[in-house]
Amino acid sequence: MNKQAFTTYETAWCPGCGNFAIIETLTGVLNQMETPPHQVVLVGGIGQAAKTNQYITANGFSGLHGRALPAAVAIKIVNDDLTVIVNTGDGDSYGEGGNHFLHNIRRNVDITHFVHDNQIYGLTKGQPSPTSDPCDLAHKTSACNLGATFNPLLIAIAAGATFVARSFSGDKKHLAQIMEAAIRHPGYALVDILQPCVSFNKKNTFAYYKQRVKPLDDTYDATNKLAAIEKAMEFGDTIPIGILYQEQAPSYAAKRPELFDAVPIVNKQVNLGEVQTLINSYI
């Protein structure tokens, strides 16, 4: 396959935005994996991150705010031949989409979820998101949480996610490795990507993350759930990046083989007579 099959269009993101490294890395990974663009569906909700699917030469679907995951799950169930990847923001994933986040994790449908986590609502110009840091009102530089800050990795592990990782848009090599592992994972895979919003988040900047991110070392055992829970609670002067937790568990497809047999639902013959009979039964 042509290694340049996936390319990008001009974007409306601000110069210097952390989203650029994510889109470049993702197109590079997809080209490397040699999956044809017509078999890839990129899904988003609403927000700056959610526009990613509109900027890559693959199939795209933009859902309502917070509704990227149910759309992605539906696409995968209807056509299991497709590689389905969600790119969306921290607000879209964990705030407006919080309920979908919890319950789609439990289903373990084989989709990949890249959260561009800028710890802020970027598109609407800088309100706090669930992952914004707790407020230190004496030194407030950006929107912050008066309530508790949401810890997506901890919550994902607790909810039964089978692949939970963090990466940083300021380290493209690391990001590429984690993205590929997440796409290859047979089940729901979450990657929370630290993505500086240079316009509205004046605290969690590239320099801020660069000083703090620390790749997991080679001795770290990503299959140990208790260790992963403990690691997921580290977020401060040190921010661990890498695959915090991974387990091999039956995906939704393995549990519902009648939906995922040799012929995907989208290609199954529709018997209009049976459909009419069904409709008539409700009249």
Ligand X SMILES: Cc1ncc(C[n+]2csc(CCOP(=O)(O)OP(=O)(O)O)c2C)c(N)n1
User: Which of 63/122 has CB closer to Mg ion?
Assistant: 122
Query: Does 25 help bind ligand SF4 (rule: CB under 6 A)?
Result: no
Query: Does 128 help bind ligand SF4 (rule: CB under 6 A)?
Result: no
Query: Does 169 help bind ligand X (rule: CB under 6 A)?
Result: no
Query: Does 14 help bind ligand SF4 (rule: CB under 6 A)?
Result: yes
Cα–Cα distance, 121 to 130 (Å, whole number): 9
Best CA proximity match to 191, nearest among 270, 272, 90: 90
CA dihedral 132, 16, 53, 168 (to 10 degrees): -50
User: Rounded to the nearest whole angstrom, what is the least distance from the CB of residue 127 to ligand X in the complex?
Assistant: 7
- How far, in whole angstroms, is CA 239 from its chain's centroid? 19
Region of 44-52, 174-182, 209-217, 238-246 interacting with ligand X (CB under 6 A): 44-52
Q: Which residues bind Mg ion (CB under 5 A)?
A: 89-91, 118, 122
Region of 13-21, 103-111, 141-149, 227-235 interacting with ligand SF4 (CB under 6 A): 13-21
Query: Does 122 help bind ligand SF4 (rule: CB under 6 A)?
Result: yes
Partner whose binding site includes residue 63, from Mg ion, ligand X, ligand SF4, none (CB under 5 to 8 Å by kind): none
Interface residue with ligand X among 11, 24, 28, 65 (CB under 6 A) is 65
User: Which of 48/93 has CB closer to ligand SF4?
Assistant: 48
Instruction: Please give the residues from 190 up to 219 whose contact with ligand SF4 meets the rule CB under 6 A.
Output: 197-200
User: Rounded to the nearest whole angstrom, what is the least distance from the CB of residue 117 to ligand X in the complex?
Assistant: 8
User: Rounded to the nearest whole angstrom, what is the least distance from the CB of residue 71 to ligand SF4 in the complex?
Assistant: 22
Instruction: Please give the residues from 76 up to 95 whose contact with ligand X meets the rule CB under 6 A.
Output: 89-92
Residue 195 neighbours by CB distance under 10 Å? 31
Which residues contact ligand SF4 by CB under 6 A? 13-14, 17, 19, 48, 118, 122, 197-200
Which residues contact ligand X by CB under 6 A? 46-49, 65, 89-92, 96, 116, 118, 120-124, 129
